[in-house]
Amino acid sequence: MSLEIEPGEVLGLVGETGSGKSVTAYSIIGLLKQPGRVVGGEVRLQGRDLVALAESELEEEIRGKEISMIFQNPREALNPVITVGRQLTQVLEIRRGMSKREARQEAVKIVKSVHISDPESRLGSYPHQLSGGMAQRIMISLALSCEPRLLIADEPTTGLDVTTQYQIVQLLRELRQRTGMAMLLITHDLALAAQICDRVAVLYAGRIAEVGRIEHLFQSPRHPYTKALLASRPRLGLKGDIVTIAGNVANLMDPPGGCRFHPRCPNAVSVCSREQPALEPMEPGQRVACHNPVGVRQQVAASG
């Protein structure tokens, strides 16, 4: 699988649970949990291969400073027995070499920038005293504390209530405008991706099914999976049942041969079970990995 993100761009990585979104994200900064490990491939950050870097180099140079992450369930992502202020100043002291006092001032500044009211007293609280939205703001402050070039947001709105979700999305959009950092948004929620992302990559069973600008993808999905995903969105005014995708997500321990989506694909043809389709450009800025993309065969048939 291959993805690239331009500076300042927001790329969405969309897929069902278990499609390998988070694994992708964690392998970027080398935080895969045991027994997972990166077996091949490369992660390039401005020409440097991160996979080839030693753990100490990753720790010292990349994490936090170049790439940082925010997570789902923000309250669990913060250390429960350390005040959020200390968590923040600790990073500033260690990673940016600030004195205690500087760190304190900087922490207040950062926390203010994510629109936390009364930052002084908030910094003295423990994670369990914060609401989910507040905790996510703190988490974002932590991620921003070393001014990274790339922010990976792993399901940043999961576990938050709807109004808070909206606020966090607003905040992420604003930050992107202000800081100009690139963002990788990992989500299963196409609607969320549509709100923030420039481009979206649709992932199925660890492989990219389709990549393209968000408006193209919504208007003319080429991969049958993308189409099915769009069709299965709950919408206002929808009549009848939500359309679901037949079958289960492919088992990544034992994936089906050929195109991994073929057992569930309405467009499947015989070659799908034998050959893995390559990710090929279809239209400007849109690439699809499919032997029989939506809306193409019909065109061919019509013209021929």
Partner 1 sequence: MGSTRLLLYAARRLLFIVPVMLVALFLVFALTRIVPGNPIDRVAGPYISTERRAELKHLAYLDRPFYEQFALYLRDLSHGDMGTSYTTAQDVSKDLRQRFPATFELVTYAMLFAVLAAIPLGIAAAIKKDSWIDSVARAVSVLGVSMPIFWLGLMLLYVFFYYLDWLPGPVGRTGSATVFVKPITGFFTVDSLLTGNFDLFGQVVKALALPCFTLGFVAMAPIARMTRAVMVEVLQSDYIRTARSLGLPFRVVVLRHALKNAMIPILTIIAAVYGYALGGEVLVEIIFSWPGMGQYSYNALLSSDFPAIQGFVLLVTFLYLVIYLCLDIANAALDPRVQY
Partner 2 sequence: MAIEEIVAPGSSIAAPPPVVGRFSDFVYQLRGNPATFAGLFIVALIFLSALLGPVLARYDPYGVNLGDAAVPPSFAHPFGTDQYGEDVLTRVVVAARLDLIMVLSAVVLSTVIGVTIGALAGFFGHFFDEGVMRSQDVLQAFPRFVFAMAVAWALGPGVITVIVATAAINIPGYARLMRGLMLSVKESQFALAAVAVGNSRWRLLWRHLLPNCLTPVIVLSTLQCGFTILEAAGLSFIGLGVRVPTAEWGVMISMGLQDFLQGHWWIYTFPGLAIAVAVLGFNCRTSSIPSGGGYRQCPCSRFRISARVSFSAVASCVSWTA
Rounded-to-integer distance, Cα 102 and Cα 88, Å = 12
When binding is defined by CB under 8 A, the residue of 35, 40, 47, 80 that contacts partner 2 is 80
DSSP 63: B
Q: Which of 3, 8, 18, 65 binds partner 1 (CB under 8 A)?
A: 65
Percent helix, percent strand, percent coil in the chain, to nearest 5: 40, 15, 45
- Binders of partner 2 among 57-76, rule CB under 8 A? 73, 75-76
* Under 8 Å between Cβ of 132 and 161: yes
Give the pairing of strands 44-45 and 48-49: antiparallel
Q: Rounded to the nearest 10 degrees, how much is the dihedral formed by the CA atoms of 81, 85, 90, 96?
A: 160
Contact pick of 73, 164, 220, 276 for partner 1 (by CB under 8 A): 73
Q: How far is the CB of 64 from partner 1 (least distance, A)?
A: 3
C-alpha to C-alpha distance for 89 and 217, rounded to whole angstroms: 42
What is d(CA 160, CA 77) in angstroms, rounded to the nearest whole number?
A: 13
267 binds, among partner 2, partner 1, none (CB under 5 to 8 A by kind): none
x/- contact string, 96-135, with partner 1 (CB under 8 A)? ------------------------------x-xx------
| The one among 76, 174, 275, 283 contacting partner 1 by CB under 8 A | 76
Stretch that binds partner 1, among 9-17, 138-146, 251-259, 284-292 (CB under 8 A): 138-146
Residues 6+ apart with CB under 8 A from 215: none
Footprint on residues 142-181 left by partner 1 (CB under 8 A): 142-143, 145-146
Q: Which stretch binds partner 1 (CB under 8 A): 81-89, 106-114, 174-182, 251-259?
A: 81-89
Helix segments in 145-223, DSSP class H:
162-179, 190-196, 214-219
CB of 54 to partner 1, least distance (A): 12
**Helix H or strand E encompassing 123:** helix 119-123
Helix (H), strand (E) at residue 69: strand 67-70
Residue 91: name its binding partner from partner 2, partner 1, none (Cβ under 5 to 8 Å by kind).
partner 1
| Position 237 contacts partner 2 (CB under 8 A) | no
Per CB under 8 A, the list member of 5, 108, 123, 139 interacting with partner 1 is 139
With b for 16 or more beta-carbon neighbours within 10 A and e for fewer, the 138-159 pattern comes to: bbbbbbbbbebbbbbbbbbbbb
Size of the site for partner 2 (CB under 8 A): 5
**What residue ranges bind partner 2 (CB under 8 A)?**
73, 75-76, 80, 128
**What residue ranges bind partner 1 (CB under 8 A)?**
29, 31, 33-34, 59-60, 62-65, 68-69, 71, 73, 76-83, 90-91, 94-95, 126, 128-129, 139, 142-143, 145-146
